[in-house]
Amino acid sequence: MVEQFEFSLPPYKRGFHLITDEISKNLKNLPKKGIVNIFIRHTSAGLTINENADAAVRKDFETFFSRFIPDATTRFEHNTEGDDDMPAHLKSSIIGQSITIPITNHRLNLGVWQGIYLCEFRDHGGRRTIVISIIN
């Protein structure tokens, strides 16, 4: 059986934001066991799982991606929506738009130090739509 629904995240500034609690509050009545797929319906943001305890991890992610793919480079032609347009698309493709997490005993089976991140690659990305698919 598959259950599927959508919800929107509020706008976030550029960066890597822990959204585990926001995801969890939208997951009601999880099965005893199964799988949840979390998908973001955007081409300039991504989702990942990583360290949830030390805020320096979020800063280091931003430092790496900003240096790896800088904004306002003359190498890219696609800049319809500004200097962060094509760099945001590339970063999104590298991180990816979905994550899959096992469900065990009605809860997300994340590790102790794991959290779900919204990776916002735009200066003004706006609200982001999340699609949740629960498979049991």
Strand order in the sheet with 128-135: 2-9, 128-135, 33-40, 98-104, 107-108
| Domains of the chain listed by start with CATH number | 2-135 (2.60.120.460)
Please give the residue that has the higher pLDDT: either 85 or 54: 54
Q: How far apart, in Å, are the Cα atoms of 6 and each of 20, 47, 51, 80, 133?
A: 16, 15, 25, 28, 9
In this prediction, residues 63-77 reach a mean pLDDT of 89
Q: Which residues contact 127 (CB under 8 A, 6 or more apart)?
A: 8, 9, 10, 11
Say if residue 64's pLDDT is above 80: yes
Q: What is the pTM of this model?
A: 0.94
Say if residue 11's pLDDT is above 90: yes
Query: What whole-number distance in Å separates Cα of residue 116 and Cα of residue 32?
Result: 21
pLDDT of residue 8: 97
The token pair at 61 is 């992610």
Per-residue pLDDT of 84-94, as tens digits, reads 889 999 999 99
pLDDT of residue 72: 85
Per-residue pLDDT of 71-122, as tens digits, reads 988 788 887 777 888 999 999 999 999 999 999 999 999 999 999 999 999 9
pLDDT of residue 85: 87
The token pair at 42 is 């955007």
pLDDT band at 134 (very low <50, low <70, confident <90, very high): very high
Say if residue 129's pLDDT is above 80: yes
